[in-house]
Amino acid sequence: MPDLDKALQTQLSNIQKKTGKTLPELAAVLTASGLSKHGELRDYCKSTLGLGHGDANTLVTVLRQAAEEPKGDDPLAAIYAGPKASLRPIHEKFMAAIAGFGPFEIAPKKANVSLRRKKQFALIGPTTNTRVEVGLNMPALEAGPRLEALPPGGMCPYRVRLTSADEVDEELLQWTRRAYDSAG
């Protein structure tokens, strides 16, 4: 993979030389165009900046990915933004409660956070402006009104819906511990 990273850096460097603009300047040019679709932006780069198809496509891809990345050191800020901000205490209480289980990887995604050992054991994130869901990947367990079974083939076979930090209780932690232990 390092060779691909080096090739991408070389291509971006060459694009900057061809256009005489830095990446931030190129991002500003694309933003000022008022276009939003990938193909429109790619074609704009070809006609306005004189780039070939491959360079234009790479430039648009890289700049769009950079624009989508969460800013700063807090990846949860993007997940719990706006009306979902009031749900973050549920997330924080859950994470604090499972911290003592042992080591695991925390991998923020666009809409939730994946928790992994050898394999994923849980997902947590807001699903509406009023609810956080904890998805649990664990061996078969009898579902009930609180522990909902999900259709087969998904990331997690169970989920628990939380609307308050008070719902991060012993029952939820027991289910999460079972998922943690089964992940390996």
Picking from 105, 110, 126, the residue whose alpha carbon sits closest to that of residue 78 is 110
Does the pLDDT of residue 3 top 70, yes or no? Answer: no
Contacts 24+ apart (CB under 8 A), 126-131: 126/79, 126/80, 126/84, 126/87, 127/161, 129/83, 129/84, 129/87, 130/87, 130/163, 131/87, 131/161, 131/162, 131/163
What's the confidence (pLDDT) of residue 150?
Answer: 92
Does the pLDDT of residue 1 top 50, yes or no? Answer: no
What's the confidence (pLDDT) of residue 27?
Answer: 86
Structure tokens belonging to residue 99: 């911290």
Angle at 15 between CA 29 and CA 34, to 5 degrees: 20
> With the C-alpha atoms ordered 65, 68, 69, 75, is the resulting torsion angle positive or negative?
negative
17-34 pLDDT, tens digit per residue, is 999 998 888 988 888 888
119-167 pLDDT, tens digit per residue, is 999 999 999 999 999 999 998 889 999 999 999 888 899 999 999 999 9
44-76 pLDDT, tens digit per residue, is 999 999 999 999 999 998 888 776 655 556 788
Q: Which residue has the tokens 């990331």?
A: 155
Residue 101 DSSP class: G
Top-confidence residue, 42 or 73: 42
Q: Which residue has the tokens 């939003």?
A: 36
> With the C-alpha atoms ordered 90, 96, 100, 102, is the resulting torsion angle positive or negative?
positive
Q: pTM value? A: 0.61
- CA-CA distance, 45 to 56, in Å (whole number)? 5
What's the confidence (pLDDT) of residue 68?
Answer: 63
142-152 pLDDT, tens digit per residue, is 999 999 999 98
Helix (H, G, I), strand (E, B) or coil at 145: coil
Structure tokens belonging to residue 48: 């306005």
What's the confidence (pLDDT) of residue 70?
Answer: 52
What's the confidence (pLDDT) of residue 2?
Answer: 52
Residue 61 DSSP class: H
Does the pLDDT of residue 90 top 60, yes or no? Answer: yes
Q: Which residue segments constitute the domains of the chain, with CATH numbers given?
A: 2-68 (no CATH), 76-182 (3.90.1150)
CB-based contact 55:14 (threshold 8 Å) = yes
Residue 127: exposed, middle, or buried by beta-carbon count in 10 A (0-12, 13-18, 19+)? middle
For all residues of the chain together, what is the average pLDDT?
A: 90
Picking from 112, 106, 69, the residue whose alpha carbon sits closest to that of residue 180 is 106
